[in-house]
Amino acid sequence: MSQILVIDDEVGIRELLSEILTDEGHDVTTAENAAAARALRDAARPDLVLLDIWMPDTDGVTLLKEWAAAGQLTMPVVMMSGHATIDTAVEATKIGAVGFLEKPIGMQKLLAAVKQALERAPKPGSVLSLAAFPRSPLLKDLRKRLEQVAARSRVVLLRAPAASIVELAARTLQQPGKAWIDLGHDSNPLTLELLAESGGGVLYCGELARLTRLQQKNLAFALERLDRHNLRLVAATTHDAAQLAAQGWEEALLDRLFDVSVGLPSFAELKDDVPDLATHLLTQLIEAGDVPNRRLAVAAQNALRQQCWPEGYAQLKSVVKSLALAALDEEIGAEEVQHLLSPGAAALPEVPPGLLPEMLALPLREARELFERLYFEHHLKLEGGSMTRLADKTGLERTHLYRKLKDLGLRNASKEHEEQAGS
């Protein structure tokens, strides 16, 4: 028995398809819009999705793109529509849909499409690309640049700083379901047979300077056959051509590689995007079955954003995986981020976004009061509510400390003082 999710804004169609598929022994859930579909897809992990193209909140093609970009297209999707054009059907297929049903849907066509789609179910796994970050101006622009360059050149060189998003950028140019060959992970000679089997795929190199002589020969061998086998080469390096030539690279090969290049931002420039990157990486790991179901608390996301990432994207992915595997609860908190990345260090108070500019705009007295409240809340939590330790930490005499906490509206502390005074 397969779990099938039917997504359509027309209640009659949902009920009809559900009834037919249930009679065939399938377990069916239904969603009336994209918002409900997202929640049900994450909760149920269906074996198959029947997705209507025209829906009021988010159309089916956009939802399909969203799942593909976020690495969540791990189940076959069959599109449905009564008004779609051939171009729409072709677009959906390129994104990753495995079939198309035209409304009104006959029972035999429905059952045949479902059977075929389940037989073609993709293997578990997920690929995260820049398409998953439409709200980031920097990543959105980078995606456009990559796609523009790739439309005119089969070779794309990524000029990367030491800590960057090389693999994330390269994955953006990989078509759904197509091959991904990492030239830096295999020292066996490339064969014509492998290139022919990988048609439409990507040959990838995360750092040219790390390739061995044999791997360099593999790259040169593939470079001459990209057009013939409909392949793309995406390579990256932190070096310039002269530095690679000094390491023994052939100048003619370097000329080909450096002909067209795209610069990548440093990870420091993407500081504000770290929460989104971490959240999507966690989703990718869950979809691949590498970690249990977990979620990052907002405070944990902010803690990750405040960290330095000298090794960039790969380091963030490793940290997210470690947090998910070690977490005792479903939600990963800021304390767990702190313990992993700064063991033994006291957690800094979480400052709401935009608070500093707000404080600077206040009169001095109000700004000082706001800072003092944050300061004492932080140390109260750090000292477990102990007035003795708090007095030692802040250097205030206890009576003055109680008065200060009461003036700041920190009632728990003043209440404790009253209880101690009465005992």
Residue 171 has pLDDT above 60, yes or no: yes
pLDDT at 418: 43
Say whether both 9 and 107 belong to one domain.
yes
Give the best-scoring range by mean pLDDT among 131-135, 340-344, 347-351, 381-385: 131-135
Average pLDDT, the chain: 87
Of 59-63, 93-97, 263-267, which gets the smallest average pLDDT? 93-97
Say whether both 286 and 249 belong to one domain.
no
Say whether both 62 and 16 belong to one domain.
yes
Show the domain range for 228: 130-263
Across 96-125, average pLDDT: 84
Which residues lie across from 81 on neighbouring strands? 102
350 part of a folded domain? no
- pLDDT digits over 212-250, tens only? 999 999 999 999 999 999 999 999 999 999 999 999 999
- Which CATH number covers residue 47? 3.40.50.2300
Looking at per-residue confidence, does 124 or 297 come out higher? 297
318 part of a folded domain? yes
- pLDDT digits over 258-292, tens only? 999 999 999 889 999 999 999 999 988 988 888 99
- Which CATH number covers residue 196? 3.40.50.300
Q: Tell me which H or E stretch contains 196.
A: helix 192-197
Say whether both 135 and 258 belong to one domain.
yes
Say whether both 15 and 75 belong to one domain.
yes
Which parts of 288-383 fold into alpha helices (H)? 298-305, 312-326, 334-341, 355-360, 364-382
Distance CA 75, CA 45 (A): 8
349 part of a folded domain? no
pLDDT at 212: 94
Say whether both 145 and 52 belong to one domain.
no
Question: For the chain, how big is the Rg over CA atoms in Å?
Answer: 27
Q: pTM for the complete prediction? A: 0.64
Percentage above 90 pLDDT, the chain: 56
346 part of a folded domain? no
Say whether both 292 and 317 belong to one domain.
yes
Percentage above 70 pLDDT, the chain: 92
124 part of a folded domain? no
Contacts of residue 170, defined as CB under 8 A and 6 or more positions apart, other chains included, come to 158, 202, 204, 206, 234, 236
Q: How many structural domains comprise the chain? A: 4
- pLDDT digits over 404-415, tens only? 888 777 755 444
pLDDT at 29: 95
- Which CATH number covers residue 405? 1.10.10.60
pLDDT at 222: 96
| 3-state SS record for 229-278 | CCCEEEEEECCCHHHHHHCCCCHHHHHHHCCCEEECCCCHHHHHHHHHHH
pLDDT at 423: 42
pLDDT at 415: 47
pLDDT at 347: 47
pLDDT band, very low/low/confident/very high, at 338 (cuts 50, 70, 90) = confident
pLDDT at 375: 84
pLDDT at 166: 94
- pLDDT digits over 282-331, tens only? 988 988 888 999 999 998 999 899 888 888 898 999 999 999 999 999 99
Across 170-196, average pLDDT: 91
And the tokens for 382? 């750090």
256 part of a folded domain? yes
125 part of a folded domain? no
pLDDT at 197: 93
pLDDT band, very low/low/confident/very high, at 6 (cuts 50, 70, 90) = very high
pLDDT at 417: 43
Distance CA 32, CA 273 (A): 31
- Which CATH number covers residue 274? 1.10.8.60
Q: How many CA atoms lie within 13 A of 125 on its CB side?
A: 8
Residue 113 has pLDDT above 70, yes or no: yes
Say whether both 149 and 257 belong to one domain.
yes
pLDDT at 79: 94
pLDDT band, very low/low/confident/very high, at 344 (cuts 50, 70, 90) = low
Among residues 280, 287, 281, the alpha carbon closest in space to that of 45 is found at 287
pLDDT at 332: 95
**DSSP character string of 189-234:** PP-HHHHHHTTT-EEEES-GGG--HHHHHHHHHHHTTTTTTT-EEE
Say whether both 259 and 295 belong to one domain.
no
Distance CA 71, CA 168 (A): 12
Domain boundary among 263, 285, 308: 263
192 part of a folded domain? yes
Say whether both 292 and 238 belong to one domain.
no
pLDDT at 361: 80
Say whether both 216 and 303 belong to one domain.
no
Burial of residue 33 (number of CB atoms within 10 Å: 0-12, 13-18, 19+): middle
pLDDT at 217: 94
Domain boundary among 310, 341, 372: 341
- pLDDT digits over 351-397, tens only? 566 677 777 788 888 888 888 888 888 777 766 677 877 887 788 88
Say whether both 242 and 290 belong to one domain.
no
Domain boundary among 119, 153, 176: 119
